[in-house]
Amino acid sequence: MSTAPARARTAREDQALHAALSVRERPSRASGLSACLTFGWRGMLKIKHVPEQLVDVTITPVLFVLMFTYIFGGAIAGSTGEYLEYLLPGIMVMSVLFTTVYSGVALNTDVTKGVVDRFRSLPIPRSAPLVGAVLGDSVRYVLGAVVVIAVGLAIGFRPDGGVVGVVAAVALVVVFAFGLAWVFTTLGLLLRTPNAVMNAGFMGIFPLTFLSNVFVDPETLPGWLETVVEINPISHLVTASRGLMGGSATGGDIAFVLASAAVLAAVFAPLTVRLYRSR
């Protein structure tokens, strides 16, 4: 290599570096909670700096709201207004569940870009980056729901459950998303590129949301398909959200949703942590 004229670091910079290096005392360790919250904060910053990632996953549900309401609404439910009451809670669910795929994509990006090495060499609990990221992502989930509801309100969605019902529905969906996200973080550690995670994630979540009662009443479907739709946990989630927003929720559906979120988290969260550790 040739010895190009190098700009020597200035004396002032060297002094600054010496001063910077004089800090050798380590503050007392961050608690696990504080580390998780810091990673949550990192998630917020990403929403701020890369908002297009959020737009990418919410644009499809927003298009669906408009398209289905105005094109198929009259044919399916008799009027666009009535169909909107039926459709919107389901699309809100869809929007949030699409956003969970992103949690896996983000984790995979961290691994492929090398920043995970830095986190893993810090004296913090090894699960903190994972738990913190999913916590931070819950803000993303709420935003995904809010966007769809805002579009709905703008075109005439007037839920009978009122503000309380809508907030409760969003909360329920976010809790479910919190469980489902671990499936995608597992995927994020198994696959090689962020794109592969995105593709595999949507290949799973897309048919699952369609094979539910988001768009139509399952009673109109052929018998075998109706059975598939009824065992799909997303159908229960949609029914519960619809109930909460419409002011007629049943405890059974809500309990089923909470239980499936717990099962997903119980299986896939430890799996994610294990894969993350053994990398």
Partner 1 sequence: MVVVTSSTLAIEASGLRKAFGDTQAVAGVDLAVRAGSVYGILGPNGAGKTTTVRMLATLLRPDAGEARVLGHDIVEEADEVRSVVSLTGQLASVDEDLTGQENLILIGRLLGFRRKEAKARAAELLRAFDLVEAAGRLVKNYSGGMRRRLDIAASIVVAPRLMFLDEPTTGLDPRSRNQVWDIVRTLVADGTTVLLCTQYLDEADQLAEGIAVIDHGKVIAEGTPAQLKASVGSGALHVRLLDPEQRPLAEQALSQALDVGVHREPDPAALSVACARPERAAEALAELSRVGVGVAGFSLGQPSLDEVFLALTGHPAEETDASEELGPGEEAA
Under the rule (CB under 8 A), what is the footprint of partner 1? 1-4, 6-9, 13-14, 16-30, 34-35, 38, 41-42, 45-46, 49-50, 110-115, 117-124, 192-195, 279
Measured from the CB atom, the residue of 24 and 154 that comes closer to partner 1 is: 24
- DSSP code of 216? S
CA separation (Å) from 177 to 74, 242, 255, 264?
31, 16, 15, 10
The tokens 């459950």 sit on which residue? 161
Q: In angstroms, give the least distance from the CB of 31 to partner 1.
A: 8
78 phi-psi bin (left φ>0, alpha ψ -120 to 50, beta other):
left
Nearest distance, CB of residue 148 and partner 1, angstroms? 25
CB-nearer residue toward partner 1: 202 or 256: 202
Q: Closest separation between CB of residue 8 and partner 1, Å? A: 7
Nearer to partner 1 by C-beta: 219 or 279? 279
CA 156 → CA 59, 65, 82, distances in Å? 19, 12, 10
Cα separation of 173 and 240, whole Å?
Answer: 9
Closer residue to partner 1, CB minimum distance, 172 or 198: 198
Select from 137, 126, 72 the least CA-distant residue to 98.
137
> Which CB atom, from 20 or from 154, has the smaller least distance to partner 1?
20
Output 85 or 137, the one with its CB closest to partner 1: 137
SS3 192: coil
Report, in Å, the least distance between residue 16 CB and partner 1. 4
Which is nearer to partner 1, 195 or 250 (by Cβ)? 195
Residue 137 Cβ vs partner 1, minimum distance, rounded to whole Å: 14
Question: CA-to-CA distance for 83 and 143, rounded, in angstroms?
Answer: 23
| Smallest distance from partner 1 to CB 279, Å | 7
In the complex, least distance from residue 123 CB atom to partner 1, rounded to whole angstroms: 4
Find out whether 257 and 169 touch, Cβ atoms under 8 Å: no
**DSSP of 102-158, one letter per residue?**
HHHHHHHHHHHHTHHHHHHTSSS-TTHHHHHHHHHHHHHHHHHHHHHHHHHHHTT--
- Would you say 114 or 222 has its CB closer to partner 1? 114
Q: CB of 275: closest distance to partner 1 in angstroms? A: 10
DSSP state for residue 27 in the 8-state scheme: P
What is each CA distance from 237 to 88, 108, 252, in whole angstroms? 13, 28, 11
Residue 275: name the closest of 43, 36, 107, 34 by CA: 107
